Chain A
Amino acid sequence: MFALYVGLAVAILLIVLNIVLSKISFPKEARILSIIVILVGYIYWGFEPFAHHEMHPHVEDASFAFDGKQDIEALEHEGKDATEAKTFWATIAKIAEHKGDAVAGKALVTANCTGCHSIKTEGFAEVMSDADAAASYGVTPPDLSIAGRVYDRNYLIAFISNPVKAMHIEHKYPVGGEKVFPMPSSDFMQPQEIADMVAYLVDSASKVPAPKIKEGSSEFEISKATNKEVFETACVRCHAMNYASIQAKTSAEAMSKYIGATPPDLSQYIRSRGEHYLHNFINDPQRKLSGTGMPRVGLTEKAQTQVVEYMTQIGDSKKDEREALGPKVLIYLTILAIFALLWKQKIWRDLH
């Protein structure tokens, strides 16, 4: 409806403008050009920005606080009971106040986590092959080598306490439901113990050396390798990236059994979804696409930026080349246009 009013207003405005300009001695070609520019600009606005605005309703921007505030607000906004969420996130905030001890945490992680998870950089190898792990748990459990760097501390605390709640997948694993999430909740543990485990993950991750890169590599290659490390931890358990020859750790067949859908190949997602969408979606998938099988993975802002950057480096690898060539071509054409203008004036001088 709005567009209709704007359309009418513009049409009327144009007619008025046309009449006014024809009364004063305004160059006719400039007048025609201005009308064409306004009409083309308006139609472009209509089928691009306006249409996108109508088809993709705005959602709140990504939040990296991981304090449950947005969840509680959303529940209250929908008029639902937010008591449970409030209690949960209040507990998380309490745990977060504890200063963790990495040494104590190492013992706890060894006893509680390494039965399923590998931490390769700390010498904890995989218990079984990716395929066997997927068959046993539904999905291949992640390696935790850089978990403490890629995932937010608050999120890790919430995740260890109650994975389903932290990941926003209650719709897939309702309390008392048939399906049970493969990783059990550890909310029975002492707050200090959880804080210690997270402290160990953060500490061990900080000791992981930067990925090895051939000497003399370009800045692009170095940044690509660093980003790839994060991408592999954050996304590759479920997603493939064919254009980088990266296969998902869990087979499509197992994934389909696990979440009821096949996670897409991410090679062209930077083109099909765009940076802005990805930024909001990865941060909290449910908010952008309610009911999706993808969980909130709890990436820190830096890690998420690296993931999106990697998707650009693979999916739009010629971006830098394009942006470097653009100005040169435009400058060349501008000079050409000036010469064309001068030549036209020279020819037409005799004609008037």
Chain B
Amino acid sequence: MAEFEKANSIGEWFDQRLNVKAFTKVMMTEYWIPKEINFLWAMGALLVMLFKLLIITGIFLLMYYKPDVNMAFDSVNYTIMQEVGYGWLFRNIHGVGASVVFLIIYIHMFTAIYYGSYKKGREMIWLSGMLLFVLFSAEGFSGYMLPWGQMSYWAAYVITEIFGGIPFIGGDLVIWIRGNFYVADATLTRFFMLHVLLIPVVLIGAIAFHFYTLRFPHVNNEEGEFFDYKKESEKYLAGDKANSKVIAFWPDFLSKDFMVIAIFMVFFFYLVFYNNGFAMDPVNFDKADGMKTPAHIYPEWYFLWSYEVLRGFFFEIGGVSGKDLGLMAFGFAQGIFLVLPWLDRSPMVKPANQRPVFKYWFWLLMADLFVLTIFGKLPPTGINAYVGFFASTTFLGLFISLPFLTTIESKIVGGK
């Protein structure tokens, strides 16, 4: 072991042992972020904040929640909501947080699509981000089951049933997932385990990995400009901050993030206190009853678009049943965003509005997702079913045509 000199300050004491100064430089004060950014670049930090809120409130809820089909409902709606001091506050933050986290994930994700932040070296950022999306979806779904209300039960029933569509092993797979022939106590306890242990642990790892993927390709900027980070950071360090194209992660970038987070928290807590019905569906305040199907079954708003793709195909085409077609389309919708960097054949890294072809594709996709989301909640009867079919087909068509459209774009812009 190297000999340690006596430290003159606490800071030095830690520095000798943990190399704090160098570490702070690498992670904070000399971790370079482009300057040409807008508030959409703060969504990542905002997501970290929301994730923290979910973990902290989740820990408090965990102290009183009882994962048992006979006790779960009352442990949430009576013990936590009415008996425990400020239990209602923790539950409202957790419930609203779970819903709002998806809103921010979507904004974060479509910001990346809009600015082309998934290609030319940034593929791993995109892939790890999509992994996080899948994990958050699983976390949201498993958590939704825990209050054991009517929607918890029937959402669990419908979603686990989807796996039954997988050829050959489907039937056995559903029983394996549920731990029973129907959604029962075994289902609740295993989803409880997933929600509070396995998925959060993997999530934390995946978040760290997502940060790591940003390190080498660097964060994209508003104009999709590629520049020499070394040269720009030297300018910054020499004191010419105004003319440098980069800013430091701390305090420059984070000061803006904190501002966005603080402003957003006003809106967030408004929802927590005064408008939380969208995140905690009224139907879920009826206790789970396997004998009584609710009049309308629908997932939380953030799954509506993929749910609508699932049920969009309601009639047989070419000998394949509507149910199977829906399942295939659903599988396609779940996986297709993952390969986006390879579907986009245009080399342009620019905001969508500066890309001659992609801009139409982007806004069409947005419009289609809106239609899917809104019709995903409505009963699929009459004209609604056809709107759903049309929007689902459009969704598939958009992704199938993307490689061709972007190849055309590539030719228009001359490969740049």
- A51-B374, A55-B378, A333-B262 known; A318 vs B367 contact (CB < 8 Å): no
Which residues of A in the span 1-55 have a Cβ within 8 Å of any Cβ on B? 1, 3-4, 7-8, 11, 15, 18, 28-29, 32-33, 36, 39-40, 42-44, 46-48, 50-51, 54-55
Closest to B378 in A: A54
Complex interface bits, A317-342 against B, C-beta within 8 A gives 1, otherwise 0: 11001110110011001101101110
Least Cβ distance of A10 to chain B in Å? 8
Does residue B375 face the partner (Cβ distance < 8 Å to A)?
yes
Indicate whether B377 reaches chain A with its CB closer than 8 angstroms: yes
A350 at the interface (CB under 8 A from B): yes
A32 touching B266 by the CB < 8 A rule? Answer: no
Instruction: Give Cα distance in the complex from A112 to B209, angstroms.
Output: 81
Tell me the smallest distance from the CB of A92 to a CB of chain B, in Å: 35
Which of B39, B92, B103, B371 meets A4, CB within 8 Å? B371
Tell me how far the C-beta of A241 lies from the nearest C-beta in chain B, rounded to whole angstroms. 12
Determine the residue in chain A with the shortest Cβ distance to B371: A7
Cβ-neighbour of A351 out of B247, B353, B378 (below 8 A):
B247
Asked if A274 lies at the interface with its beta carbon under 8 angstroms from chain B, I say yes
- Kindly state whether residue B270 has any CB partner on chain A within 8 Å: yes
Contact B301 A337 (CB under 8 A): no
**Distance of A4 Cα from B371 Cα, bound (Å):** 6
- A46 — which chain B residues lie within 8 A by C-beta? 370, 373-374, 377
Helix, strand, loop or mixed for chain B's interface?
helix
Instruction: State the main secondary structure of chain A at its contact with B.
Output: helix
The distance from the CB of B371 to the nearest CB of chain A, in whole angstroms, is 6
Question: Is there contact, CB below 8 Å, between B278 and A50?
Answer: no
A4, B390: Cα distance in complex, Å? 11
Residue from B256, B278, B296 within 8 A of A344 (CB atoms): B256
Contact A272 B273 (CB under 8 A): no
Does B370 contact A334, Cβ atoms closer than 8 Å? no
Q: Which residues from B are CB-within-8-Å of A50? A: 374
Q: Is A337 a contact partner of B282 (Cβ separation < 8 A)?
A: no
Are A336's CB and B265's CB within 8 A?
Answer: yes
**Provided the pairs A8-B367, A268-B285, A322-B273 are in contact, do residues A343 and B258 lie with their beta carbons within 8 angstroms?**
yes
B363 touches A44 (CB 8 A): no
Q: B82 an interface residue at 8 Å Cβ cutoff?
A: yes
Say whether B262 contacts A11, CB under 8 Å. no
Q: What are 6 A-B contacts defined by CB distance under 8 Å?
A: A44-B278, A242-B74, A267-B78, A330-B273, A336-B262, A337-B266
State the A residues within 8 Å of B (CB). Answer: 1, 3-4, 7-8, 11, 15, 18, 28-29, 32-33, 36, 39-40, 42-44, 46-48, 50-51, 54-55, 242-243, 264, 267-268, 271-274, 317-318, 321-323, 325-326, 329-330, 333-334, 336-337, 339-341, 343-344, 347-348, 350-352
Q: With A43-B374, A268-B285 given, can you name 10 additional A-B contacts, CB distance below 8 Å?
A: A28-B38, A318-B82, A321-B88, A329-B273, A330-B270, A336-B265, A341-B263, A348-B255, A350-B242, A351-B242
